[in-house]
A and B are shown apart, each in its own frame.
Chain A
Amino acid sequence: MYERIREKLGILADAAKYDVSCSSSGSNRKNENKGIGDAEGTGICHTYTEDGRCVSLLKILLTNHCIYDCAFCVSRRSNDIKRAAFTVDEVVELTMNFYRRNYIEGLFLSSGIFKDADYTMERLVCIVKKLRQEERFNGYIHLKTIPGASDELLREAGLFADRMSINLEMPTETGLKLLAPEKSHAEVKKPLKYIQNSITQFENEKALIKSVPRFVPAGQSTQIVVGATPETDKEIMHTAHAFYQNFSLKRVYYSGYIPISNDSRLPVIGSQPPLIRENRLYQADWLMRFYGFKVQEILNDVHPNLEADVDPKLSWALRNLDQFPVDINTADYYMILRVPGIGVASALKIVQARKFNRLYESHLRKLGIAFRKARHFIRYADSPMQLKEFEAGHIKGLILSESKSKYQKNPDNQLSIF
C-alpha cells in the first residue's frame, strides 16, 4: 500500500515539475468556517528544490496518461514511460495531510488528458469540490484548465479554485504548430476569455449583491516555453504583453526548455536549458509590470534580443544615456525607478527621505541601493565634478569589471543556440 502511493507520487510529481507557476498569493480566501487553511495574505515558499525553485504548492498531475502527442511534453502519447493516475481521494488526502504539517500552501493540479477534455476536467472539479466542501479547506488551489473543456465545467471549477491557468506553450502560433500540430493558440484564448469575462461578471454582481460567491479570486496565468523554437525575445515579450493586455493575466511564466526527447525539431538532449535567457525575460517582465516600462522600450526591431551580460534595465539605460544623469534630490519617482541599481523599495525611501534633507552619497549607500552601479546614472548633493560624460561602452565595462556576476564567466554559451 505504502509503496504504490509513493510510486504514484513519484511519477506524477515528476511529470508536473515542468510547470513553473508557483505563486500562492493574490487570493482572498479567509478561514471563516473554522476549517483549515487561509489563502488571504501573501504566499509562502515552504522550501526550495535543489535547482533553486520555490515549493509552495503540492504540484502534481492527476494522471500522465495523455491522448495528445506534443513533442515538448514528457507525458506525450508516444513517450515510453511509466504511467499512473491518482484517485480523487488520494489527491484530497495528500493535500490535506501535507497542508496540516505546514509543508505546502495548497494544491496545484494539472493533468494529462484521459479520454477527452470534459472527462478529465470533471475529475479535477470533483477534487476541488471535495476539498472545499467536505474538508472545509481554505488553502490555495491552482487548477490547470484542460483545453477544450466545456464552459459549464470551467465555470464550476472557477467557483472553487483560487487561480486557473492554461499554457500557451510556444510563444507563437507557428512554433506551436510545429511541435504540437493538434493544438493552437486559439484553443487557449477561448477559455482564458471565458474565465476573464466570468471574473468581470462576478465582480459586477458583487457590487450589487453581497452574497455573490468568489470566482477565481487570484486570477489567471499562463506559461511560455522558451528556447524550444527559434522565436526572438521580442516576439516572446510582445506575446506576453498582448496576453497581459487582452486577458488581464496576473502572471506570465517563462520556462527555459529542458530537452526531454530525441525529436529532431527540438534542441538535443543534454544541451543546457537557457537559464540566463529565462532570467532576463523575467527581469523584462518585471520592468513592464512594476517599473512603468513599455515593452517597445525594452525590445524592438533594433533590439530584438535581451543581452546576456547585463540586465534589461541597465541595457536600456546604456542605450538611453541622454535621459541621465538623474538628480536624486529633484527627479520624479518614475525616473528614479529607471536608474539601474535602484529598486522599488529604495526609490520610495529616497523620495521620502529627501523631504527632510538633501541626500548625499553616504545616505544613498546606506539606503540599500546598488551604489556602484547606480553612481554612473545619478547626481546627488555631493556628486563628484565630472569633466566629460562617459560613453555607454565605457560605463558598461566599469560596471562589469566591478560586478561579481555569475554570468560573466560564460556570457556567450546561451545566445549561440540560434
Chain B
Amino acid sequence: MELYIFDGSLEGLLTAVFECYRRKSAIVKLVTEDRHVPDVFDSGYHVVSDREKGKRVWKGLCAKLGKDWQLRFYKTYLSEQPEAFQHLLNFARYIIDQPAGASENFAHSDVLAVSQTAQKVHREKHRMEAFVRFQKTGDGIYYAHIEPDFDVLPLLPEHFQNRYADQRWIIYDLKRKYGLYYDLEKTEEIELDEAPQMSIINALPSNLLDPKEELFTLLWQDYFKNTNIKARKNIRLHVRHVPRRYWKYLSEKQG
C-alpha cells in the first residue's frame, strides 16, 4: 500500500488518480494534507495538483460516465468527507479500468459509496433550496445565510437564479465563509469582510432591514401556526422532515 497526500482540491484528487497510473501504484491510501500525520516509516507521496493531469483524468472519466454520474462524482467531492475522497479515487480507477457501463455495478463498494454520498449531498442541496429564508434589506437585496453540512453552495446558483431573476440576492455560508451574490445578470462568489451581525438568531439587525420586513416575518409565523392541525399533532414526523439543526435558520421557528 502507498500513502498519497493531496491538497484537498478536486484538481488534486484527479491528479492523484493520474499519479496512480504513472507510478503504477497498486493500492493507494489517499489523505489530505491537513489530516496527514507524518510517520517516521512512511513519509508518503506528495501529490502536486496539476491542471493538465487533472483534466486528462476528468476527460477519461467523462468518456465512460454519463452526465448524471459526472455530477455524482462532483457532489461526492463536495461532501468534504475523508472517506469520500478515498472512494472517489478507487471509483475513478475502477471506471477507467473497466469497459463503459461499469458505473451501474451497484454491488461494487466504491460505486455504491459514491452513489450514496452523492445522494446525501444532493439531499442537503435540496434542503438549502427549501430552507433558505431571505430577508429584504434596506437597499433592496434579499439576504440569507446558511451553514450546510456539506459544501453545497456551488450547486445552488442555477436554482436561485432561475427563480429570483428579478431581485438581487445573497446566500452566505457562515461555516465556510463565502457566499453567492446575484446582481440581476450573473451569480458570483463573494467573501464578506465581516458577515453581518445577527441581532436575534436568524435576523439581520432591524436598522439594515426594509421597513416592511418585520410584517412579512410575522405574517409567515402566523401562517405557519394557523395551518397546523392540532388534532393531528406529530412532532416526531415534523422533526424528521425539519431536523433540529436547521431550526435556527427558519424564521417560522422563531415566533
Contact = CB atoms under 8 A, between A and B. Distances in A.
Contact of B130 (A45, A350, A356, A366): A45
Interface in B177-235: 212, 215-216, 218-220, 222-224, 226-235
B107 interface: yes
Contact of A36 (B126, B167, B252): B167
Interface string A39-70: 01000111111111111001100000000000
Interface string B166-179: 11000000000000
A359 interface: yes
A100 B232 contact: no
Contact of A6 (B162, B212, B218, B224): B218
Interface in A241-260: 256, 258
A46 B234 CA distance: 18
B240 to A, nearest CB: 8
Nearest to A98: B220
B149 to A, nearest CB: 18
Contacts of B240: 52
Nearest to B115: A349
A349 B232 CA distance: 36
Contacts of B252: 47, 103
A31 interface: yes
B222 A10 contact: yes
Interface string B150-164: 000000000000111
B134 interface: yes
Contacts of B250: 47
B220 to A, nearest CB: 5
A6 B214 CA distance: 12
A59 B228 CA distance: 12
Q: Which of B129, B135, B212 has the most CB of A within 10 A?
A: B129
Interface in B223-255: 223-224, 226-238, 240-242, 250, 252
B232 A275 contact: yes
A359 B163 CA distance: 44
Task: Indicate the member of A52, A258, A355, A406 with the most B CB atoms within 10 Å.
Answer: A52
A382 to B, nearest CB: 13
Nearest to A48: B241
Question: Chain A interface: which size bin?
Answer: 35 or more
A221 B146 CA distance: 35
A17 B229 contact: yes
A102 B133 contact: yes
B74 interface: no
**B131, B223, B233, B237 pick with most chain A CB within 10 angstroms:** B223
Given A52-B237, A101-B135, A356-B105, A9 B165 contact: no
B112 A366 contact: yes
Q: Which label, helix, strand, loop or mixed, suits the secondary structure of the A interface?
A: loop
A118 B102 CA distance: 60
B116 to A, nearest CB: 8
A231 interface: no
B108 interface: yes
A100 B250 CA distance: 15
A311 interface: no
A258 B167 contact: no
B167 A31 contact: no
Contacts of A367: 106-107, 112
Contacts of A18: 229
Contacts of B237: 48, 51-52
A341 to B, nearest CB: 17
Contact of B241 (A14, A54, A256, A352): A54
A47 B242 contact: yes
B234 A102 contact: no
A51 B228 contact: yes
A393 B206 CA distance: 64
A272 to B, nearest CB: 8
Interface of A: 2, 5-6, 9-10, 13-14, 16-18, 30-31, 34-38, 40, 44-55, 58-59, 94, 97-98, 100-103, 136, 256, 258, 272-273, 275, 349-350, 352-357, 359, 363, 366-368, 406
8 contacts: A14-B227, A36-B163, A47-B250, A52-B241, A54-B241, A94-B219, A350-B106, A353-B106
